[in-house]
Structure formats: C-alpha cells, structure tokens
Amino acid sequence: MDPSVDTWDLSSPLISLWINRFYIYLGFAVSISLWICLQIVSKTQDRSLQEKSVPRAPQDLMTNGYVSLQEKDIFVSGVKIFYGSQTGTAKGFATVLAEAVMSLDLPVAIINLKEYDPDDHLIEEVTSKNVCVFLVATYTDGRPTESAEWFCKWLEEASSDFRFGKSYLKSMRYAVFGLGNSAYASHFNKVGKNVDKWLWMLGAHRVMSRGEGDCDVVKSKHGSIEADFRAWKTKFISQLQALQKGERKKSCGGHCKKGKCESHQHGSEEREEGSHEQDELHHKDTEEEEPFESSSEEEFGGEDRQSLNSIVDVEDLGKIMDHVKKEKREKEQQEEKSGLFRNMGRNEDGERRAMITPALREALTKQGYQLIGSHSGVKLCRWTKSMLRGRGGCYKHTFYGIESHRCMETTPSLACANKCVFCWRHHTNPVGTEWRWKMDQPEMILKEAVENHQNMIKQFKGVPGVKAERFEEGMTVKHCALSLVGEPIMYPEINRFLKLLHQCKISSFLVTNAQFPAEIRNLKPVTQLYVSVDASTKESLKKIDRPLFKDFWQRFLDSLKALAAKQQRTVYRLTLVKAWNVDELQAYAQLVFLGNPDFIEVKGVTYCGESSASSLTMAHVPWHEEVVQFVRELVDLIPDYEIACEHEHSNCLLIAHKKFKIGGEWWTWIDYNRFQELIQEYEDSGGSKTFSAKDYMARTPHWALFGANERGFDPKDTRHQRKNKSKAISGC
C-alpha cells in the first residue's frame, strides 16, 4: 500500500474540521450565549419570587415575647388640618376629616388659622413629614373669612417676596379644599384657589388636586357642599394611605395643559360606569379641579412667568420670541385703534392720558400697591408691620426718631426718569423726563392715600403679636415717606401736596433722584429732603442709574448745588453696589463738598430678585463690615463729618455734620411737634419767616449711636430672626 494514500486517509477528517472551523466557532458562541441568557432569566425569576414573598420573623428572633423587626421608614408623621371659617362649616369639615385620619392611626391636629402665625411656624412643616390640609371658605366679594384674613395676606405677600424665594416651603406637602358658592361666579372659591397657588409659588408640594365645595345645590357636582366634601375626603384618605406606605401616586407637576392633567389619566380618579352624562361630569371634574399652576401662563403675566422660571430651554427660545413679537404687535395695534398720540400723550379729545394703564395697574396691584387715581400709589412698608408687632423699626426710626408703625409710604408720581439697576420694582413703573399725563388733585391723592393706608393697618387687628396700643397709634398717620417708587418731585402740584401734609400734622420725607434741579430749587420746606447719590462719576452714574436725560450729569451736579441752598434738613443717600461704586471715595468726598448735606446715609444695596432689566446679583450686596469700612474711609476725607448712628439690620450707617454734635452728644433726631409749629409760622408769614435744620433737632438716644451694643435696634422691641435663615453669600 502506498504510504501517501494512508496519510491522506488519516488526515482528511482533520482537514475537514479545519476547513469548517468557522462554523464550529459559531456553534460554540451561540451555545455560550444561550447558557448566559438562561442564567439571567433564572436569576431574575428567583429575585422576583423573593420580592413577592413576605418574610416572617423567625421564631429564633423572639426575645421576651417581642419580635425584633427592622426599623420602618415613616413617610407620614401626622396630619395638620387648618381651617378658616365664618359660619362654622369649614370647622365642621375639619372635625369630620380628623376622624377619618385618626382611623389610619395617624396623629392629627385641628388648627384655627386665626390663632396661627405663619411667619413663625409654617416653615416647620418643611421637615415635619406632616401633610397639611387647608379648608378655607370664600367670604364676601371673594375675600377670606375674618379668621383666615391674616394668613392669606401673609401667604400672598410671601409668595411674591424675593426674600422668601421659590423654595421656601420646598418638601412641605399640602392639600386644599375650598368652600364657596357658584352663584357668585366671579369669585367662586377664590380663596381656595389663591391659597393653593401661593403655596405652590413658595415651593410646596400638592399631594392631590384642589377640592371645591359648592353651596349652590343646583350647580354642586355632588348635590351639596357636604357631598362635595365627602367625595374629596375619600380621595384624600386614599392618597394618604398611599403616602403612608411610601407610594407616590403621580400628581400634577404644574406643566399639564388645562383639562389634560396626566394625574387624572392614569387612575388617579375613579370613574363609575354609567351614562354619557357621567362621562361628561368626569371631564368637567378634571378640568375644574385642575390646579392653578397647570395653567400658569394664563394666571401670570410675562414678568411673573420669567420670575417663576428664570431658566429657559434653548429649544423653547423660538416660541418665546414669537410670543413676545405677537404681544408687541397686538399692543401696537391696540394703541393705534385707541388713537393714542405717542408724542403728545393725548387722546382723540385732546385730553392727557392716564399714567396707569390697565396692564400697569394689574402688575402693580399684584405687587401689593393700593393705586390712587391715575398716577399715585400707597403701600404698607414691611417695617410698619414689624413695629406693629414689636419687632423693631426701620433705620429712620434709629436715625431720626420716626415711629415706623405711624409712617405712610406713598408717592404722587409713579413715573421716574431713571432705570436704576437696583430698582426694587423691577421697572414696572412708567418712565419719562417730563409730566405728560392726566393730573389728579393733591386733595384727592392725600385723602385716598390715608384711607388706603388705614385700611391696610386695619387688617392687622387680631393678628398674633400685634400690640394693641401700636395698632391704635398706627391708625393715625404721623409721617409720610415720599419714597415708594418713581419721582415724587415730578408731580406738578408737589408743593400743594406737601402743604396739605403739614396741615394734617404729617411730617414729610421726600426723596429725589437728582435729575430735576429746577424743581428742587422751587420746592417748599419739607421735614427732610433726600437726594440719591448712587455714584460719584459720570460713567458709574450712567451704569447704575441709567438715566433718561442726555445731560444727566449736569442735572445731577445742579441738583446737589440746589440742595446746598436749602435751610431745612438735607440728606445724601448713598447706595453701595459692590464692584460698581465702592472704590470712588475721593469723588464722593468732592460731591459732599458740593452739596454740603446735613446727613449722609450709606446703605448696602438691597437685592430684589432676578430681573431681565438688571444684571444685579447677590454678589453685589456688600457685607455690613464692608459698609462700615467704606464709611470710615469716607469720613477721613470729609473733616466736617463724623459717624453718628448705625442700623445693622438694614446694613446702613448715618454720617452727620458736626453741627449736630452739641456738648459731645448727637442731636440727629427730629422734634416733630416743633417742626409743625415752625412750618405753620412759615405758611402764616407767606414764607418770610424761615427756619433752619437746627431749629427742630432732638437728642439721639444712646442705643441708636454708632458703637452701641444694640447696633441700632430699639431695646423696647424684640429682635425676630427667621427660623430658616440660610447662610448668605453677601452682606444682605
């Protein structure tokens, strides 16, 4: 036999395997993959069975009759039920709901809003793991009941106050049930809707949709307000049980379109099988129970939308620009139809138009203004509220002896000639360089200003912490701060307005932005005249105040010269903006020599929140120590002045001329009764009998002086610190 043939026969199987090796490799790979998949499926099924099984405590864990269990997480520690009632219905509902909650073995507390101070206690609910329920009735003209009036007012102001912010009540859980009557369609359940909205604006989390009870049995969804409440209570208890177990039913996140809330489309509401009418009723429920934030674009204007959501997705930028352009076109068309002459500021009949347009009225009303006539406004200062409750007064109380709870903050002109970067109204007020609007009479402005101020004071009757004697005193206005917003000196009848104030024995504190030198020269005597000196050079003034006048710098200098000619008390008001105007000491000293003011107030800028009209941030707010250092360095450059007073809480110091330091004691306070006597003599003499600042000065108390331990806080009052005050990145 040929050996080569034998070799080929033996090696042919190996050659065949070698030729087909790729198929062999593929077979091995598929086999291994199938084995791995089977292992994964097997382990997944085992894990699923383990999760579904409920482990029991083994017998060997029994110790002294007790079972050793793992510590359970507590998802709901209790329920607090707040009610505001006029006739007792909401109070009765609170009792019924409390009984239902107790059946879940949860602690429950029923709280009358009249006896509750949200300023001190509401922040506690952020970390308490409680669920807060608000049962609030709507009273006459859409107002809250008397017992809930203070709570609603506080909540409204907090929701639009930049100091609280959009995360103030973050992690607080709540639900709202409103009581109303649909016969009053214009304000049906208005209070419940507002409370729901304001809590959401402060960052609180709604656990279920707002309920609305209707006293009108014809229009009530379930036949009566009691039935409406029972239906809502059933849903609430179901949601509460889910929360107890740690389950999180999907609730509205505030981005659904009206009538299309996803939380209603995935089983959050039970639907009964029945007729077509029931289907329509369910759709109506879904739409009407939709929370306010689900249609925030309808509820808030452009400014509010921006403040609520300052971060804009790039993909949405085109839509936003289209929306802005559309609004602008509609506005221009509306103005053309109404026949407004922009240059003349007159309508078809030749009459001047009102300064406050409907859109402006809406914006300013949201900010808490009480608008008067066509160009004036009044607002309650936070220091007025503070002093009513014995929590301290403003820096004017420390520096000049103003009684903050008797001070009315108003303006006869909402218009201004500047657009300051630190404008605390985010430039919602109108601007202009001259008066071109319809003018109201000063008698009407003063009368309505006092009435509106008194009405706002009345709302504090019965509020927790308000001192009875200060409440009574607060009903009589003693001081008027013409510094609310705008430029009061623009008002053509400002002198008549001041005369009326003095006739009513009301002292006058007028602030001007140093752009109207002629008006300053023609101004009759005031208790104290302020000029805002926001910068010391032409470049920085343009950057900070952003004036409308082209000759703003010359007007500024002329205003300071006009101030120097005044015989009564004059004040420079310096607002320090870190990195913008704190390094101009020598220039500030030159301006002091120019205007020779009696006093210089130096205050750190107050940050008023985000605004597209300003690039100011918290980083621009100086620390109080930085303000003190600036003042010390400035005083070294102006030898006729010394540091007199300090109000640490306002980040403010007072520099006074040495003529007010008599016998080693400061006399920066004002003898208001003496001023009224002097101004009366001035008026009676036709202006021939003049008087000076030293004629009505009073001695400054020790606690108000710079260097005192009180740091400018009146020891008669009690300092109040907000409980959730976080560490600031500035000196604010």
User: Between 48 and 165, whose confidence is greater?
Assistant: 165
User: What are 158's two structure tokens?
Assistant: 């907090």
pLDDT of residue 175: 95
pLDDT at residue 715 tops 80: yes
Would you place residue 124 in the very low, low, confident or very high pLDDT band (cuts 50, 70, 90)?
confident
Q: Which of 191, 214, 245 is the last residue of a domain?
A: 245
Within a domain: residue 471? yes
**For the CA atoms of the chain, what is the radius of gyration?**
35
Cα–Cα distances in Å, from 359 out to 71, 142, 173, 425? 57, 21, 34, 15
608, 162 in Cβ contact below 8 A? Answer: yes
Query: Rounded to 5 degrees, what angle do the CA atoms 623, 628, 634 make?
Result: 125
Establish if 675 belongs to a structural domain.
yes
Check the CA dihedral 95-271-132-82 and report its sign: negative
Residue, of 683 and 14, whose pLDDT is higher:
683
Q: Give per-residue burial for 675-696: e unless 16+ CB within 10 Å, then b.
A: bbebbeebeeeeeeeebebeeb
pLDDT of residue 522: 96
* pLDDT(599) > 60: yes
Lowest mean pLDDT among 146-150, 302-306, 491-495: 302-306
Q: Phi and psi at residue 646, in whole multiples of 5°?
A: -145, 140
Distance from C-alpha of 437 to C-alpha of 247, rounded to nearest angstrom: 60
How many Å from the N-terminal Cα to the C-terminal Cα in the chain?
109
Q: How confident is the model at residue 327 (pLDDT cuts 50, 70, 90)?
A: low
Q: 475 vs 13, which has greater pLDDT?
A: 475
Instruction: Report whether pLDDT(22) > 50.
Output: yes
Where in 346-404 does DSSP place strands (E)? 370-372, 376-379
Lowest mean pLDDT among 113-127, 192-206, 490-504: 113-127
Q: For the residues 703-722, what does the mean pLDDT come to?
A: 89
Inform me whether the pLDDT recorded for 387 exceeds 80.
Answer: yes
Confidence of residue 266 (pLDDT cuts 50, 70, 90): very low
How many Å apart are CA 238 and CA 16, to the nearest integer? 72
pLDDT mean over 332-352:
49
Q: Is the pLDDT assigned to residue 317 strictly greater than 50?
A: no
Looking at residue 87, which CATH number applies to its domain? 3.40.50.360
Q: For 59-63, 250-254, 262-266, which range has the lowest pLDDT when averaged over its residues?
A: 59-63
Residue 234: how many other CB atoms lie within 10 Å: 12
pLDDT band, residue 33 (cuts 50/70/90):
confident
With cut-offs at 50, 70 and 90, classify the pLDDT of residue 697: very high
**CATH classification at residue 530:** 3.20.20.70
- Within a domain: residue 119? yes
Cβ-in-10-Å burial (0-12, 13-18, 19+) of 529 comes to buried
pLDDT of residue 638: 95
Residue 157 lies in a domain: yes
527 and 571 Cβ atoms separated by less than 8 Å: no
Residue that is last in its domain, among 225, 245, 265: 245
Which residue range is the domain that position 140 belongs to? 79-245
Q: Which residue has the higher pLDDT, 395 or 623?
A: 395
Over 90: is that where the pLDDT of 643 sits?
A: yes
Residue 525 domain flag: yes
The whole-angstrom separation of Cα 679 and Cα 401 is 19
- Indicate whether 241 and 388 sit together in one domain: no
* Structural domain includes residue 225: yes
Contact between 647 and 712 under an 8 Å Cβ cutoff? The reply is yes
Q: How far apart are CA 352 and CA 436, in angstroms?
A: 7
Whole-angstrom distance, CA of residue 213 vs CA of residue 225: 5
Residue 688 has pLDDT above 70, yes or no: yes
Does the pLDDT of residue 454 top 90, yes or no? Answer: yes
What DSSP element (H or E) covers 684? helix 672-684
Long-range contacts of 727-730 (CB under 8 A, 24+ apart): 728/618, 729/618, 729/619, 730/578, 730/607, 730/618, 730/619, 730/620, 730/621, 730/622, 730/623
pLDDT at 58 over 50: no
Q: Where are the beta strands (DSSP E) in 357-427?
A: 370-372, 376-379, 407-411
Tell me if 260 is assigned to some domain: no
Amino acid at 37: C
Across 240-269, average pLDDT: 55
Dist CA 378 CA 696 (whole Å): 28
- Give CA separation, 213 vs 208, 222, 289, 557, in Å: 15, 9, 11, 63
Least confidently predicted of 70-84, 146-160, 323-337: 323-337
* d(C-alpha 77, C-alpha 106), whole Å: 7
Q: What pLDDT was estimated at residue 577? A: 74
Per the CB < 8 A criterion, the answer to whether 604 and 732 are in contact is: yes
324 band by pLDDT with thresholds 50, 70 and 90? low
| Domain end residue (candidates: 245, 273, 302) | 245
Could you tell me where the DSSP H helices lie in 442-550?
Answer: 442-458, 468-474, 494-503, 517-521, 538-545
Res. 5: pLDDT tops 50: no
Q: What is the mean pLDDT of the chain?
A: 79
Closest CA to 479 of 375, 384, 599, 363: 384
Contact present, 99 and 105 (Cβ < 8 Å): no
Nearest to 712 by CA among 394, 405, 381, 388: 394
With respect to residue 51, please indicate whether it lies within any of the assigned structural domains. no
Helix axes 149-159, 190-201, angle to 10 degrees: 40
The span from the CA of 270 to the CA of 231, in Å, is 11
Query: Which two tokens mark 220?
Result: 């009530």
Cα–Cα distance, 687 to 117 (Å, whole number)? 51
- Residue with token string 């100091």: 163
Q: Which among 267, 266, 271, 264 has a CA at the least distance from the CA of 291?
A: 264
Q: Could you please report the per-residue DSSP string of 126-168?
A: GTS-EEEEEEEEB-GGGPBPGGGHHHHHHHHHHHT-TTT-TTT
- Tens digits of per-residue pLDDT, 667-687? 999 999 999 999 999 999 999
* pLDDT(611) > 60: no
Q: What is the pLDDT of residues 267-297, one digit of tens each?
A: 433 333 334 444 443 344 433 333 333 333 3
DSSP E strand stretches across 57-210: 62-63, 66-67, 78-84, 108-112, 130-137, 173-180, 205-206
Contact 517, 558 (CB under 8 A): yes
The percent of residues in the chain predicted with pLDDT above 70, rounded, is: 74
- Percent of all residues in the chain with a pLDDT value above 90, rounded to a whole number: 45
More confidently predicted of 52 and 589 = 589
Distance CA 245, CA 716 (A): 51
Q: Of 220-229, 307-316, 449-458, which gets the smallest average pLDDT?
A: 307-316
The count of structural domains within the chain is 2
